[in-house]
């Protein structure tokens, strides 16, 4: 028998989601053992606890009421220490969060994403709630979430990733001094994209791509990373990452190496079928422009304006010659 702290829990095997099951270790618990999906300190700092969040079944909840079942042991031993580390780093802004071990940032973002996801899954088990788009009825998505949870368990199980990191994470510096909100959040279950902005720090991440998006975007990222972006530029960068998430065509899977009882940690290997599969579907300017126009909705820039030159979508980050734009000129709104 393996020690419990080295044993992985697979809630997807028999769809074991419920108010009496710890999301992280699978222990049976009483319903009062739960944690908020968004950390208390973050909700307090950015005053969004009472703000509304729309779920897939169209019901609206307040952020503070979004909670997941979690046993006391997992709360005290695994989640709290992580929150303390991230909170400490967050005080130092962009530099602090960039200095943090990427694995921790993955776990921190991952827990919020997963928390939102299992809230949907638990609700779907209620026969009175019939969402239009039931996650539990999407076999391909469930496989993806199952793979994701294997690596997210590094929150609890000491786990080594020998030659990869499960996600692509970008910590972007943005000049948000004139922005109306201090905090922004966005997630997309199907592509596993998640982004948060806390004042000047924007974190965008694809939670399950083994860093492939970051690799594909390295040229752009080299230019963006050392600079402070204007909000319109940050929105474009974010649109590029989200679009890459749509194009991503492979799903990493993970395989546990054999664990021996005396081991102190487990080793997770990754498998990517990139021999028979294309990693990214081809980039299409028209679909990218559609996504970018949504990201630029605040500036009222339409899809047509973006595609004035159909071969070269409008950019606030780079000139057609590929040079970084230090002072972007925001186009006039169409009447
Ligand atoms: Zn637990």
pLDDT in tens, 210-231: 999 999 999 999 999 999 999 9
Going from the Cα of 288 to the center of ligand 1, the distance in angstroms, rounded, reads 41
Which tokens in the block code for residue 135? 């996650």
Going from the Cα of 286 to the center of ligand 1, the distance in angstroms, rounded, reads 46
Going from the Cα of 168 to the center of ligand 1, the distance in angstroms, rounded, reads 27
pLDDT beneath 70, residues of the chain: 1, 127-133, 274-275, 333-335
SS3 state at 35: strand
33: how many CB neighbours lie within 10 A of its CB? 17
The residue segments making up the domain with residue 317 are 167-248+284-327
CB 114 within 8 A of CB 61: no
DSSP 100: S
Residues 27 and 74: their CA atoms lie apart, in Å, by: 10
Going from the Cα of 75 to the center of ligand 1, the distance in angstroms, rounded, reads 7
144 with 177, same domain: the answer is no
CB 87 within 8 A of CB 132: no
90 with 127, same domain: the answer is yes
| Among 157, 183, 218, residue at a domain's last position | 157
133 with 173, same domain: the answer is no
Going from the Cα of 69 to the center of ligand 1, the distance in angstroms, rounded, reads 9
92 with 201, same domain: the answer is no
Domain presence at residue 275 = no
CB 228 within 8 A of CB 175: yes
Going from the Cα of 71 to the center of ligand 1, the distance in angstroms, rounded, reads 4
187 with 310, same domain: the answer is yes
- Locus of tokens 């969040």: 53
Domain presence at residue 81 = yes
Residues 164 and 305: their CA atoms lie apart, in Å, by: 40
Going from the Cα of 171 to the center of ligand 1, the distance in angstroms, rounded, reads 30
CB 194 within 8 A of CB 278: no
218 with 180, same domain: the answer is yes
Show Cβ contacts of residue 221 under 8 Å, excluding neighbours closer than 6 positions. Answer: 170, 214
| Among 136, 157, 178, residue at a domain's last position | 157
Going from the Cα of 18 to the center of ligand 1, the distance in angstroms, rounded, reads 13
50: how many CB neighbours lie within 10 A of its CB? 10
For the CA atoms of 121, 185, 291, 176, the dihedral, rounded to the nearest 10 degrees, stands at -170
pLDDT value of position 134? 72
Going from the Cα of 73 to the center of ligand 1, the distance in angstroms, rounded, reads 6
Of the candidates 82, 140, 141, 139, the one whose C-alpha atom is nearest the C-alpha of residue 117 is: 141
200 with 298, same domain: the answer is yes
Going from the Cα of 123 to the center of ligand 1, the distance in angstroms, rounded, reads 20
This model's pTM is above 0.85: yes
145 with 212, same domain: the answer is no
CB 147 within 8 A of CB 252: yes
Of the candidates 239, 124, 259, 127, the one whose C-alpha atom is nearest the C-alpha of residue 188 is: 239
Domain presence at residue 296 = yes
For the CA atoms of 89, 93, 99, 105, the dihedral, rounded to the nearest 10 degrees, stands at 60
216 with 146, same domain: the answer is no
Domain presence at residue 310 = yes
Domain presence at residue 78 = yes
210 with 301, same domain: the answer is yes
Going from the Cα of 265 to the center of ligand 1, the distance in angstroms, rounded, reads 18
Domain presence at residue 255 = no
226 with 136, same domain: the answer is no
Domain presence at residue 262 = no
Going from the Cα of 70 to the center of ligand 1, the distance in angstroms, rounded, reads 5
C-alpha count within 13 angstroms, C-beta hemisphere, residue 324: 16
pLDDT value of position 251? 87
| Among 91, 122, 157, residue at a domain's last position | 157
Of the candidates 152, 171, 185, the one whose C-alpha atom is nearest the C-alpha of residue 93 is: 171
Residues 154 and 254: their CA atoms lie apart, in Å, by: 12
pLDDT value of position 58? 77
Number of domains making up the chain: 2
15 with 104, same domain: the answer is yes
For 126-195, give the DSSP string.
STT---SS-GGG-HHHHHHHHHHHHHHGGGTS-EE-SS--SSEEEEEEE--TT-S-SEEEEEETTTTEEE
pLDDT value of position 242? 97
Surrounding ion ligand 1 within 5 Å at CB are: 22, 24-25, 27, 71, 74
pLDDT value of position 133? 64
Domain presence at residue 212 = yes
Residues 47 and 45: their CA atoms lie apart, in Å, by: 6
């Amino acid at each position: 028998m393996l020690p419990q702290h080295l044993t992985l829990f697979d809630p997807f095997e028999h769809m074991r989601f419920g108010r009496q099951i710890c999301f992280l270790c699978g222990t049976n618990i009483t319903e009062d053992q739960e944690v908020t999906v968004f950390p208390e300190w973050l909700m307090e700092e950015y005053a969004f606890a009472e703000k509304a969040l729309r779920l897939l079944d169209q019901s609206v909840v307040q952020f503070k009421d979004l909670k997941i079942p979690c046993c006391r042991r997992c709360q005290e031993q695994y989640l709290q220490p992580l929150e303390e580390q991230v909170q400490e780093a967050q005080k130092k802004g962009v530099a602090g969060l960039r200095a943090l071990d990427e694995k921790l940032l993955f776990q921190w973002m991952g827990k919020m994403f997963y928390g939102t996801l299992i809230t949907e899954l638990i609700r779907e088990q209620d026969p009175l709630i019939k969402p239009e788009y039931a996650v539990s009825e999407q076999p391909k998505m469930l496989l993806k979430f199952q793979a994701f949870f294997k690596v997210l368990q590094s929150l609890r199980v000491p786990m080594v990733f020998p030659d990869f990191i499960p996600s692509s994470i970008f910590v972007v510096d943005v000049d948000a001094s004139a922005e109306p909100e201090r905090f922004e959040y966005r997630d997309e279950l199907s592509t596993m994209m998640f982004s948060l902005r806390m004042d000047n720090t924007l974190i965008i991440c694809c939670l399950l791509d083994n860093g492939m998006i970051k690799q594909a975007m390295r040229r752009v990222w080299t230019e963006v990373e050392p600079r402070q972006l204007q909000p319109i530029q940050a929105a474009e960068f974010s649109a590029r990452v989200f679009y890459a998430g749509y194009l991503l065509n492979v799903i990493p899977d993970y395989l546990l190496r054999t664990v021996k009882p005396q081991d102190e940690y487990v080793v997770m290997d990754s498998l990517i079928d990139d021999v028979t599969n294309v990693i990214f579907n081809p980039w299409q300017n028209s679909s990218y422009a559609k996504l970018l126009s949504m990201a630029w909705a605040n500036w009222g820039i339409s899809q047509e304006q973006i595609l004035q030159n159909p071969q070269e979508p409008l950019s606030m980050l780079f000139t057609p010659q590929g040079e970084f734009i230090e002072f972007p000129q925001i186009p006039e709104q169409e009447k």
